[in-house]
Structure 1
Amino acid sequence: MKSTPLILTLLASLICSATQAAVSAEEAAKLGTTLTPVGAEKAGNADGSIPAWTGGLAKDAGTIDAADFLSNPFEGEQPLFTITAQNAEQYREQLSPGQLAMLKRYPQTYRLRVFPTHRSAALPDPVYQAIARNAVSSSLIAGGNGLQNLDTAIPFPIPQNGLEVVWNHITRYRGGSARRSHVQATPLANGTFTQVHFKQQLSYRDKVKGFDPQNPGNVLFYYKQMVTAPARLSGDVVLVHETLDQVKEPRMAWLYSAGQRRVRRAPQVAYDGPYPASEGQRVADNLDMFNGAPDRYDWKLVGKKEMYIPYNNYQLDSPKLKYADLVKPGHINSDLTRYEKHRVWVVQATLKAGQRHIYAKRELYIDEDTWQIALADHYDARNTLWRTGEGYQSYRYDQQLPWLSVEALYDLINGRYIVSGMRNEERGGLEFGFESLAAEYTPTALRNAGVR
């Protein structure tokens, strides 16, 4: 792989300068040799069902149309087999409790079509080099609730504990900045739903003009989301300044209400505060499978295992489909989803004594090649499995970045769910890597953006 010599050279130069290293320079030298540049096991598994990583998909692995829809590089493949309620016991060890619960609750319609495994992920060489620097210089601060010496993405490619794995997810590479239009649905138990349309923009700090790497401050990224339909919600805007240490300096959030023409601070857009326009089906830290401060939980790194997770879900993003093709009663259409066997990090979060959250326990399953949470189980205070999330990622080979295109959170008790990130019928494209002005992410800009 062409980036390996760069990584090894960089690590060698850091051996003498690393002070507060997450791992030793000798340990970090595994990156690009026995480990991939992001810290995954480079080799395949014993029976060959997980192949070795050989560099990921090439940038020209498929075609891209005018609305930034990618062609499916695996379109001709057929499922190896399908996991159903009838044969689930045979695959129990490779399934999450949430997947097993969904198979039990929807035995006639929910199933996992399992395809050949493709280790698609690849990142740009400069990102690999930044991760190599992070391996020997990044560290946790404030009891694990913040970071120092983060360069670009993924501070802990060789994680030592559960918190480090979660921080890798939070800071994973997403192109530096992204803009898109997408649709969300919260169908009733019978499958009827209303489309909620969003314009969304995300900028990590190094993509904001004026950012000084020598004096980075505490902001990790800026996020803005505006509702454009239906009419009753149109013009409402959420603005977030996400901080690295949210205990020292909590997330700053604002809401603009188009009906009231008023901007107000929104401290509830964090933890288990209700997420706007979600009809109570998602709390603030459910978005992106998990986001925000980790301080209310104790995080345990259970280990690594092989599991069937959503992967290479290009079909879910197809412009040939309508939203009604995806959104079905109880869950999204199982005829359109794709699962593959991959190695995942398993992390268990238990609510700390004296802290409050509607989820007393969470179990996260994080893909080793992307640091993206693929599956997330949520338990209530009685240790009952309440909600289960699936992240249907597809790799943006044109941009060299993993991408969570669609995510769903299923309520196992009331039979409803929320699905977001759909763009099948959208004609506005995806844009990555642009530079923003800090002025775009201010309460004043929020008011200007949200005026009907």
Structure 2
Amino acid sequence: MNNNKTFALAACWLLLTLPATALAAVSQQSAQRLGKDLTPIGAEKAGNKEGTIPDWTGGIKDSEIPKAFKPGMHYINPFPDDKPLFVIDKSNMEKYKDHLTDGQIALFKTYPDTFKMPVYKTRRTAKQPERIYYNTRAAATKAELLDGGNGFKGAYDAYPFPIPQNGLEAIWNHIVRYRGEYVVRRASEVAVQRSGAYSLVTSQQEAVLNYNLPGGSEKSLDNIIFYYLSFTKSPARLAGGAVLVYETLNQIKQPRQAWGYNAGQRRVRRAPNLSYDTPIAASDGLRTADDTDIYNGAPNRYNWVLKGKKEIYIPYHNYKLISPKLKYEDILKQGHINPEHTRYELHRVWEVEGTLKPGSRHVYSKRVLYLDEDSWGAAVLDQYDSRGNLWRVSMAYLINYYDRPTVWTGLDVFHDLQARRYHVQGLANEEASYIDFERAVPPKNYFKPSALRRRGRR
């Protein structure tokens, strides 16, 4: 073979094997699809040919928002008259398996007598503020991945890659998806043991979504996408403790910064290892640091592949599950949460597969995320152990926070199939109030480590 042919073949091979991070932003012609055949953030406007997924017509309507709702209160179900179309259980699972993830199928097999999925009419209520649509259109032709996909430029207060070309771009849409500007809530998390026993850990949580602050810019972002504070309220042995996190965009350039405050010692300490597969203490080892929010943090330890779209039954409009009419004991059952209070719908999702890179370390050898096309939020995650066996299944029980508006989780549930235990985040049914999006954004010095000692109290 002559040198020219050798070079040509090598060049072709290089082009085919270049990492997806080398791809530039989409063309102006492609971006013009946003708001036409695609929604403003990149989902398909049209429903499916069977009619089981409807067209997207702009999201939830003002007339559908309950008039009795006031910001800060528990969300009122805008569709109280909806009834299940059918219920999937172990007996009929095979009929619906094409619309289930491997993890969901495993839950039916692990808990054949009790795990069920009530399926309701699909409602495409997802909606975001107009400024997000405007900024996303601008980002579509400018946003680019940086540093091997460990960050990006060309986007702010937007979905950076509404027409994703690879798995990393889809992952970034999930990580920086719109969830408001300043969020305050008091909620509990719990590890439910194999016997069904549990003990609540309750905390006050606050987050400033720095990436979504109106009037800001890429420059003002200073590589920090959000600030997060959590103060433990109970049990008594943990009360007064606090955690502060600066979540960085490019965590290879600048690792996540975290501090912890121990009320008993009255000391603030750096927490340098609060990332990747570090076990979270309050989860009793059932959740890793990067399991939070179904997936978060630096994506650099995995090769991410965009597998395409599927139609999957995912948790959606779970207002019944977060209702103040329920007690925690009504929800937390042996093996899994009470399926009677859950709601699933058929939605199109982006399937993104992450495989652990050679030489990288993590307890999960593979993760498969299913991202809701209308919100870019991860609804289901299947996780595999070092032997390649399905190990854990996580699900975000989504609701429409119609006063923002945004679709986000109401409750996150993390299942360990091997231990037959599970962990729940976001329990607030027994709290006097729910998420508050309306408070004024505090100044940045509010999130200084020195403030932890002053604010942390038993």
| Fold match by TM threshold 0.5 | yes
Aligned 8 A contact 2:322 2:429 in 1? yes
Mind listing any 5+ residue stretches in structure 2 that lack a counterpart?
Answer: 1-22
Aligned 8 A contact 1:227 1:234 in 2? yes
Give the secondary-structure state (helix, strand or coil) at the position aligned to 1:335: helix
Task: Find the partner of 2:294 among 289, 304, 309.
Answer: 289
| CA distance in structure 1 between the aligned counterparts of 2:242 and 2:212, rounded to whole angstroms | 21
Aligned 8 A contact 2:347 2:372 in 1? yes
* Other-structure match for 1:219: 224
Q: Confirm whether residue 173 of structure 1 aligns to residue 175 of structure 2.
A: no
Q: Confirm whether residue 142 of structure 1 aligns to residue 147 of structure 2.
A: yes
* Other-structure match for 1:431: 436
Task: Find the partner of 1:342 among 338, 344, 347.
Answer: 347
| CA distance in structure 2 between the aligned counterparts of 1:276 and 1:176, rounded to whole angstroms | 28
Aligned 8 A contact 1:21 1:135 in 2? no
* Other-structure match for 2:329: 324
Structure 1 residues 176, 215: CA separation in 2 closer, same or farther (over 3 Å shift)?
closer
Aligned 8 A contact 1:64 1:70 in 2? yes
Letter in 1 for 2:282: A
Letter in 1 for 2:153: Q
Alignment of 1:45-444 (within 5 A): 45-60=48-63, 61-62=65-66, 63-65=68-70, 67-205=72-210, 213-432=218-437, 434-444=440-450
Letter in 2 for 1:51: P
Larger Rg: 2
Q: Per-residue CA shift, 1:161-180, capped at 9, x if unaligned?
A: 00010100000000122111
Letter in 1 for 2:152: L
Q: Confirm whether residue 43 of structure 1 aligns to residue 46 of structure 2.
A: yes
* Other-structure match for 1:16: none
Letter in 2 for 1:50: I
| CA distance in structure 2 between the aligned counterparts of 1:161 and 1:211, rounded to whole angstroms | 28
Letter in 2 for 1:127: I
Structure 1 residues 57, 145: CA separation in 2 closer, same or farther (over 3 Å shift)?
same
Letter in 2 for 1:310: P
Measured after TM superposition, the shift of residue 69 of structure 1 is 1.3
Measured after TM superposition, the shift of residue 42 of structure 1 is 0.1
| CA distance in structure 2 between the aligned counterparts of 1:196 and 1:138, rounded to whole angstroms | 40
| CA distance in structure 1 between the aligned counterparts of 2:57 and 2:163, rounded to whole angstroms | 19
Aligned 8 A contact 1:208 1:438 in 2? no
Aligned 8 A contact 2:133 2:158 in 1? no
Measured after TM superposition, the shift of residue 322 of structure 1 is 0.6
Structure 1 residues 240, 268: CA separation in 2 closer, same or farther (over 3 Å shift)?
same
Letter in 2 for 1:266: A
* 21-30 or 406-415, larger mean C-alpha shift: 21-30
* 96-105 or 251-260, larger mean C-alpha shift: 251-260
Any runs of at least 4 consecutive aligned residues in structure 1 with deviations exceeding 4 A, and if so which?
Answer: 206-215
| CA distance in structure 2 between the aligned counterparts of 1:159 and 1:207, rounded to whole angstroms | 20
Structure 1 residues 349, 212: CA separation in 2 closer, same or farther (over 3 Å shift)?
closer
Measured after TM superposition, the shift of residue 65 of structure 1 is 4.7
Report the RMSD for the aligned CA atoms in angstroms: 1.6
Q: Confirm whether residue 448 of structure 1 aligns to residue 454 of structure 2.
A: yes
Identical pairs, percent: 47
Give the secondary-structure state (helix, strand or coil) at the position aligned to 2:186: strand
Structure 1 residues 322, 215: CA separation in 2 closer, same or farther (over 3 Å shift)?
closer
Measured after TM superposition, the shift of residue 199 of structure 1 is 0.8
Structure 1 residues 310, 182: CA separation in 2 closer, same or farther (over 3 Å shift)?
same
Give the secondary-structure state (helix, strand or coil) at the position aligned to 2:446: helix
* Other-structure match for 2:14: none
| CA distance in structure 2 between the aligned counterparts of 1:407 and 1:95, rounded to whole angstroms | 18
Aligned 8 A contact 2:132 2:159 in 1? no
Structure 1 residues 361, 206: CA separation in 2 closer, same or farther (over 3 Å shift)?
closer
* 420-429 or 340-349, larger mean C-alpha shift: 420-429
| CA distance in structure 2 between the aligned counterparts of 1:77 and 1:145, rounded to whole angstroms | 43
Give the secondary-structure state (helix, strand or coil) at the position aligned to 1:193: coil
Measured after TM superposition, the shift of residue 217 of structure 1 is 1.6
Aligned residues, how many? 433
Structure 1 residues 105, 257: CA separation in 2 closer, same or farther (over 3 Å shift)?
same
| CA distance in structure 1 between the aligned counterparts of 2:284 and 2:161, rounded to whole angstroms | 36
Q: Per-residue CA shift, 1:393-447, capped at 9, x if unaligned?
A: 1001122111211000000011110001111111134221531211111110122
Give the secondary-structure state (helix, strand or coil) at the position aligned to 1:185: strand
Q: Per-residue CA shift, 1:128-186, capped at 9, x if unaligned?
A: 10111111111110100111122103110000000010100000000122111111111
Task: Find the partner of 1:29 among 32, 41, 44.
Answer: 32
Aligned 8 A contact 1:256 1:450 in 2? yes
Structure 1 residues 210, 399: CA separation in 2 closer, same or farther (over 3 Å shift)?
closer
Letter in 1 for 2:48: N
| CA distance in structure 1 between the aligned counterparts of 2:112 and 2:356, rounded to whole angstroms | 32
Mind listing any 5+ residue stretches in structure 1 that lack a counterpart?
Answer: 1-19
* 408-417 or 59-68, larger mean C-alpha shift: 59-68
Letter in 2 for 1:23: V
